[in-house]
Amino acid sequence: MRWLLLASTVFAFVLCFTRHSAGAWGFWMLVGLLGVFACVLAFVQARIDGNAREDTLSEYDLKRLREGKPPLKHGQS
């Protein structure tokens, strides 16, 4: 989804800089700027999701965290 958003934002800027009327230029510039904002948020959200821990930890992992040790890798119990 974020790649489609990036491609459509680039396309909006291409349309913006190839239009000759001020109304079309302004419309596509607005669409491009909104697309940049949404695209940045989409990439940030994907990065946060990629680095997030699982919602729940096992009792053993909680015990390790209390002892100051890092939890085990994902998928191990």
Q: Is residue 54 domain-resident? A: yes
Count up the domains in the chain and report the number. Answer: 1
Q: Is residue 73 domain-resident? A: no
Which amino acid is residue 63, in one-letter code?
Answer: K
Q: Is residue 18 domain-resident? A: yes
CA dihedral 74, 62, 67, 75 (to 10 degrees): -10
Phi-psi region of 71 (alpha: psi -120 to 50; beta: other; left: phi over 0): beta
The whole-model pTM stands at 0.65
Q: Is residue 55 domain-resident? A: yes
pLDDT digits (tens, 9 = 90+) for 22-66: 999 999 999 999 999 999 999 999 999 888 777 777 788 888 888
Q: Is residue 60 domain-resident? A: yes
Rounded Cα–Cα distance for residues 28 and 17 (Å): 9
Which amino acid is residue 41, in one-letter code?
Answer: L
